[in-house]
Structure 1
Amino acid sequence: MSKRAKEEHNTTVAEQELNDQHTATQEQTATDEQSLQSLTLNHRNVIAVTLFSMIFGAGNLIFPPLVGALAGTASFAAIVGFIVSAVGLPIMAVLAVSFAGGFRQLAGRVSPKFATILAVVIILTIGPLFAIPRTASTSFEMALVPFIHDGSQQWLQLVYSIVFFAIALVVAQHPEKLAKILGRFMGPLLIAMIVILFVMCLLLPHGPIQPAKGSYAQGAMVQGFLDGYQTLDLLSTLYFGIIISANIRAFGVKKESRVRRETGIAGLATGVMLIVVYGMLGVIGTISGTLQPIDPATATGTDVLSNLTTQAFGSAGTVFVGLTFIIACFNVCTGLLSTASSFFSKQFPTVFGRKFSYRAWTVLFTFIALIISNLGLAQIIRLSMPVLEALYPIAIVLVLLALLEGPFTSKFRPVYLWTVVFTAIVSISQCAVSLTAVFGGHLTWLENLLNYLPFQQQTLGWVLPAIIGTFVGVIVQFVRGNRPVQQ
């Protein structure tokens, strides 16, 4: 090749490289512009319904009607309290985790070891120890118990739970297929079912609304707030926030500020849906309480809905609602089983020096949930409440501190540690007292000590210690000055 030809060739190559760079720059610019765009209305609806479906499970169906039935004439105040803890706190958790970049990053502001321990306890709570067993127990009580009259309930429950969990175990091996069912099918189906029940309630003749019963007679709003713990939604949404953020990014929103904005929009939209649905379920429970009295000591919420569906729809209606519960609980079960097993397979890939895979964790958790589910729904609820009394206050203060990150806690980082420590001392002590009482014992000395705290009668004795811990954290920061925080 001649010198002139080589020069022309080199010039052509250089021009082509410049053109390629220009094209790449244009493509990157287009990508950046695209990443700045907000979600379309359709995508926002999909995200909101997906979040609703992830949140709304068995507990969300049975507890609002129970609150309405027990609160009676005080049901409005009780449902307001319930909504604060069952809607407000979970939606704030979605935002807090999204802003922090994940639950580990959020809890790690206390300490990395604390983040791991709290994550394990929460996953076990929303997984094989309480939430997963409750899906089988709830669906069994709604679908089959109304038709069992020969004393064979115990054996039928065992058979049902074996079949239920065996199928869930198989489906949980493919968690990537769950989102479409939850977001596009189960959410709309459950909402439609609740709307039908609500309309039928309004048309159903009933007697006068009953006065408040049990603990609702003394403080309906506070008791409603505490019963909101039983949905487990605050704990579960500590993990859902980052999942929702990832789904938003998958739609093409890349800029972090836009992701947070869309997460907030999804959270608010889901919150509105939950408020409307809980309001309808509260009315359903209030009317059901006029049809047949329930015992505050033994009622679980399933009997409240069973009484109503029997009156409004007869046996066919009970079958329809029972099947809906089975589908809803099954999907939640497989989702929680996948979440718990994924977490443990990454956190603990080996056990006693031997590899423990995702599949092995699903088998272990399924077996544990199978055993616990046969204790019965009422017993599971009684055992779970003390644990929730320990975890919920800690989760609440973490979420609130995270939402104050910009104006406050970023400047006073020790506040995280000291607020959580002071809160945990009281909440874990309350758990010990309540759990001992469940098994028929008494920790009188500890109970008397806790009774000195303000609001302890409402199980909110942790509030003042949390405030004190916040002040201690601020003082520690002032004493420490600008020295870095050691974690």
Structure 2
Amino acid sequence: MPNTKETLVTSFALFSLFFGAGNLILPPLLGFQSGSWWWLVALGFAVSAVLVPILGIFAHAKLQGTIYDFGKKVSPKFSLVYSILIYAISISLPSPRTAAVTHEIAVQPFFNTSALVTSIIYFSLVFIFVINRSKLLDVLGKGLTPAIILILVMIIGVSVFAMQFNFGETSMVSPFSAGILEGYQTFDAIGAIVVGGVIIVSINLKSKASYKDKRTLVRNAAWLAGLSLFVIYIGLILTGALNHNNFESSITRIELLSGISKITLGNSANIFLSILVSLACFTTAVGIVTGTSDFIKDRLPNSRHAYLLTAIMGCLLGIVMGQFNVAYIITVAFPVLMFIYPITIILILLNVVPEKWASPMVFKAVVITTFIFSVPDFFGSLGDLAPNKNIFSWIPLSEYQVGWVLPAMATFVISNVIEKK
């Protein structure tokens, strides 16, 4: 059985791999805009940014393989295409976004340097961590995560205990679904199947424990990491809601986070916030590039050269994309997420349920249905380029951009009934 120290180190490592740029800058503005409905927004955010990602880690604990194993029951070709697509998205958007956030919050206020210089230094350090693969779990779990949590607790604690509990009005039509869709932007469901693989490989490099012991270790660590994420998100959303009178309604995500830090931490805010942002973003970038490199190495019979080359390419792409500002990267990412997230969520859920309810036929039927009914949500995310929304108004929940949910659930039930009979 795994001991307490192993569980805590693995849990801290999981937390740091999850908690990156989006996890830090998204919740405060969500709370700021939600007013007295902050708790309902927080629940929606927790569904897509905590519950689904932790279920993804549970699925990894069960499979103990790579991202490729998530879609094999649909077909090997589907699984390969899906895996490549996930890693391409991960190193093209969330990984560079961590560098952009670091530059805008942690570097720009102190140094008159370009985003290119920041990206080069940032991803050079990421590369050093990635090539020291065997030490990754201990460095993240023992060194970086406690510092991240400590600074977050300071910011949230001062806000919650020093401010009066009064909230502004909100213009949100559907706070719960707004929270779910904003949770997409954390990339954590995608992150779960990427960094979950990193955790499994890291445990295998350090331990010869049995399948059962590794499954217990990963599950226990996932529970602790999930609880920590939930508490931090609730705190950040509540902090944003409590500060509704202190800022203009047009404030950006980064401006709000910086402003809240100055109110709570005083003159030392910039230093503490810079450390927090740098650590939170850096650990996520390391996890993404490591996960991508692990996957390519696994597909090319344990080639060390493939691992090294993928790490180099991932860091170079991060340097190129990391020069764009955060708002632009978030805008570009949204349609991509509306396309890939529903399929990712369904694959996670199907890999968690008992085998008797998740046969290859069920996998195929549910994934195909989810893909078909997520297309209207994808079109709806294109803004001015979107077709007339009335075309898809007959789909239940389509007005909340989650029109795939009920058809996927119905297909899961029907396909299981058909198979049993």
Q: Same fold (TM over 0.5)?
A: yes
1:388 matched to 2:306? The reply is: no
Indicate the residue corresponding to 2:393 in structure 1. 451
What is the CA distance between 1:57 and its match in structure 2? 1.7
**Equivalent residues in 2 for 1:367-446, closer than 5 Å:** 367-410=316-359, 413-435=360-382, 437=383, 440-444=384-388
Deviation (angstroms), 1:105: 2.3
Matched residues in 1 for 2:351 and 2:287: separation? Answer: 26
Alpha-carbon distance in structure 2 between the residues aligned to 1:287 and 1:429: 36
Query: TM-score normalised to the size of structure 1?
Result: 0.78
Change (3 A) 1:126 1:65: same
**C-alpha distance in 1 between matches for 2:417 and 2:131:** 50
Give structure 1 regions of 4+ aligned residues with deviation exceeding 6 angstroms: none
Q: Does 1:280 align with 2:235?
A: yes
Give the Cα separation in 2 of the matches to 1:433 and 1:348. 39
Where does residue 192 of structure 2 map in the other structure? 237
- Distance in 2 separating the partners of 1:166 and 1:261: 35
Match of 1:181 among 134, 139, 151: 139
Structure 2 unaligned spans of 5+: none
Give the equivalent residue in structure 2 for 1:80: 43
Which of 279, 286, 289 is the equivalent residue of 2:244? 289
Which TM-score applies when normalising by structure 2? 0.90
Residue 233 (structure 1) shift: 1.2
How far 1:130 moved relative to its partner? 0.7
Separation of aligned partners in 2, 1:248 and 1:178: 10
Return the alpha-carbon distance in structure 1 between the equivalents of residues 261 and 224 of structure 2.
29
Deviation at 1:319? 2.2
Match of 1:112 in 2: 76
Preserved CA contact (<8 Å) 2:60 2:200: no
Partner Cα distance (2:314, 2:198) in 1: 22
1:151-166 to structure 2, matched below 5 A, reads 156-166=114-124
Q: How far does residue 339 in structure 1 lie from its aligned partner after superposition?
A: 2.0
Q: Deviations over 1:418-465 (max 9, x none)?
A: 110111122244324424x3xx42333xx4332221001111101132
Distance 1:121 1:305, change over 3 A: same
Q: Are 1:58 and 1:135, in contact at CA under 8 Å, matched by a contact in 2?
A: yes
CA contact (8 A) 2:45 2:179 kept: yes
Aligned 1:45-194 pairs, distance under 5 A: 45-102=8-65, 103-127=67-91, 129-146=92-109, 156-194=114-152
Post-superposition offset of 1:367: 2.6
The residue aligned with 1:464 is 406
1:8 maps to which residue? none
Structure-2 change in CA distance of 1:418 and 1:140 (3 Å): same
Contact 1:306 1:318 in 2 (8 A): yes
SS of match in other structure, 1:172: helix
**Residues 402, 275 of structure 1: alpha-carbon distance in 2 compared, 3 angstrom cutoff:** same
Partner Cα distance (1:428, 1:304) in 2:
33
Whether the 8 Å CA contact 1:135–1:333 is kept in 2: the answer is yes
Alpha carbons of 1:364 and 1:343: their partners in 2 closer, same or farther (altered >3 Å)?
A: same
* Aligned residue pair count: 418
- Cα distance in 1, alignment partners of residues 164 and 18 from structure 2: 32
1:373 deviation in Å? 2.0
**1:300-319 mapped onto 2 (5 Å cutoff):** 300=253, 302-319=254-271
Alpha-carbon displacement from aligned partner over 1:358-400 (angstroms, at most 9, x marks no partner): 3333333223222222221011111111111111111111222
Q: Once structures 1 and 2 are overlaid, which stretch shifts more, 281-290 or 426-435?
A: 426-435
Aligned pair in 2 of structure 1 residues 177, 473: CA closer, same or farther (>3 Å)? same
1:78 to partner: Cα distance: 0.6
Q: Distance in 2 between matches of 1:252 and 1:332?
A: 23
* 1:341 maps to which of 283, 288, 293: 293
Aligned-residue offset at 1:188: 0.8
Counterpart of 1:196 (choices 126, 146, 154) is 154
CA distance change for structure 1 residues 232 and 161 in 2, over 3 Å: closer, same or farther?
same
Aligned letter for 1:221?
Answer: F
Q: In structure 1, list runs of 5 or more residues that go unmatched.
A: 1-37, 350-354, 482-487
Structure 2: distance between partners of 1:144 and 1:254 = 43
- Assess if the C-alpha contact under 8 Å between 2:177 and 2:400 holds in 1: yes
Cα deviation for residue 170 of structure 1 reads 4.0
Provide the C-alpha distance between the structure 2 equivalents of 1:177 and 1:250, rounded to a whole number of angstroms.
9
Q: Which residue number corresponds to residue 359 of structure 1? A: 308
CA distance 1:174–1:428, shift in 2 (3 Å) = farther
Aligned equivalents of 2:123 and 2:203: distance in 1? 31
What is the RMSD of the two structures over their aligned residues, measured on CA atoms?
2.7
Deviation at 1:107, TM superposition (A): 0.8
Relative to structure 1, is the Cα distance of residues 408 and 48 closer, same or farther in structure 2, using a 3 angstrom cutoff? same
Distance 2:315 2:364 in 1: 35
Mark the CA change 1:407 to 1:477 in structure 2 (over 3 Å): closer, same or farther: closer
Shift of 1:468: 4.2
Q: Which amino acid aligns with 1:403?
A: V
1:218-233 paired onto structure 2 within 5 Å: 218-233=173-188
**Following TM superposition, by how much is the alpha carbon of 1:475 offset from its aligned partner in structure 2, in angstroms?**
6.6
What amino acid maps onto 2:296 in structure 1? F
What residue in structure 2 maps to residue 485 of structure 1?
Answer: none
- C-alpha contact (below 8 Å) 2:195/2:291 kept by paired residues: no
Task: Name 1:35's counterpart in structure 2.
Answer: none
Indicate conservation of the 8 Å contact 1:64/1:285, yes or no. yes
**Distance in 1 separating the partners of 2:290 and 2:209:** 27
Which whole-Å CA distance do the structure 2 matches of 1:370 and 1:425 have between them?
Answer: 35
Amino acid at match of 2:100: S
For residues 62-98 of structure 1, give each alpha carbon's deviation from its aligned partner in whole angstroms, at most 9, with x where no partner exists.
Answer: 1221221111211111111111111111111111232
Inter-CA distance 167–248: structure 2 relative to 1 (3 Å threshold):
closer
Following TM superposition, by how much is the alpha carbon of 1:307 offset from its aligned partner in structure 2, in angstroms?
A: 0.8
By relative contact order (CA 8 Å, sep 6+), the higher-ranking structure is 2
Distance 2:135 2:416 in 1: 47
Distance 2:135 2:311 in 1: 16
